[in-house]
């Protein structure tokens, strides 16, 4: 069944603004800017014929699309599209030792070592496994128009899996808060129609 899938990153949180690592273990609400971004997205797309809303289990994901849920639209949440776990980095402002550890992990991913992870965090291999499972289940759903709200690194991983790109390509996937990736599924393949589109923010 052909599908249109609208995939967005959640709106801004105070921790985003402060440069504090969130990941899957920190669960803040949207800040005022994030709520305005969410409202702007709703204003532009509230008449689109979405049949299903999918969020992660984290608050910032659900809050970003709460207005669609309240229409009401059918809604499901899944930990498959939760943000990656950044382990011991979560809840901390970025420090030199953290940047060094992150860069070393990314370098190992580029060399093909997808088992690399931050201390007590999730590896690229684990993240990819979640996203592949999500995409497999997504295309089997009976709905043709779906809105998905996820997180920065999770979105980067989804986009690379959709485009059959290597994992290191995640580093080049742009993802502003409420940035939209419009993806179609037809005849057994995905096509990306829009990338990190923020045209809706003109309403902010």
- Number of other CB atoms surrounding residue 178 within 10 Å: 27
Kindly state the helix (H) or strand (E) to which residue 196 belongs, with its residue range: strand 189-197
Going by C-alpha positions, the residue among 195, 144, 154 that lies closest to residue 55 is 154
Q: What is the residue-wise DSSP string for the chain? A: --EEEEEEEPPPBHHHHHTB--TTS--PPB-HHHHHHHHHHHHHHTTS---EEEE-SSHHHHHHTHHHHTTT--EEE-GGGSPPP-GGGTTSB--HHHHHHHHHHHHHHHTT-TT---TT---HHHHHHHHHHHHHHHTTSS-SEEEEEE-HHHHHHHHHHHTT--GGGGGG----TT-EEEEEEETTEEEEEEEEE-GGGGG-
Total-model pTM: 0.96
Confidence (pLDDT) at 110: 96
Check: CB of residue 76 under 8 Å from CB of residue 52: yes
Rounded average pLDDT per 10-residue block, the chain, 204 residues? 96 96 97 98 97 98 98 98 98 94 97 98 98 98 98 98 96 97 97 98 81
What is the Cα–Cα distance from 54 to 24, expressed in whole angstroms? 17
CB-facing half-sphere around the CA of 28: CA atoms within 13 A: 20
Phi and psi of 9, rounded to 5°? -85, 150
What is the Cα–Cα distance from 115 to 62, expressed in whole angstroms? 30
Strand partners, 185: 3, 190
Confidence (pLDDT) at 203: 73
Confidence (pLDDT) at 204: 67
Confidence (pLDDT) at 113: 98
Structure-token match 């776990």, residue found? 85
Confidence (pLDDT) at 12: 98
What is the Cα–Cα distance from 178 to 197, expressed in whole angstroms? 8
- Provide the CATH topology of domain 3-85+123-203: Rossmann fold (3.40.50)
């Amino acid at each position: 069944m052909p599908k249109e899938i609208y995939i967005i990153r959640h709106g801004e949180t105070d921790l985003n603004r402060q440069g504090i690592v969130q990941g899957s273990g920190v669960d803040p609400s949207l800040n005022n800017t994030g709520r305005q971004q969410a409202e702007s997205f709703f204003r532009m797309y509230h008449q689109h014929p979405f049949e299903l809303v999918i969020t992660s289990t984290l608050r910032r994901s659900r809050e970003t699309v709460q207005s669609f849920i309240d229409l009401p639209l059918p809604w499901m949440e899944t930990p498959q599209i939760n943000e990656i776990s950044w382990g011991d980095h979560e809840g901390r402002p970025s420090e030199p030792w953290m940047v060094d550890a992150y860069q070393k992990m990314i370098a190992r991913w580029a060399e093909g070592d997808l088992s690399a992870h931050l201390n007590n965090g999730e590896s690229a291999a684990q993240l990819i496994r979640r996203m592949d499972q999500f995409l497999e289940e997504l295309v089997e759903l009976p709905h043709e128009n779906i809105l998905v709200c996820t997180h920065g690194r999770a979105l980067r991983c989804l986009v690379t899996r959709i485009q059959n790109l290597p994992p290191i390509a995640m580093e080049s996937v742009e993802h502003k808060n409420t940035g939209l990736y419009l993806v179609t599924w037809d005849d057994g393949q995905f096509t990306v129609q829009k990338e990190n589109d923020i045209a809706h923010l003109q309403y902010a």
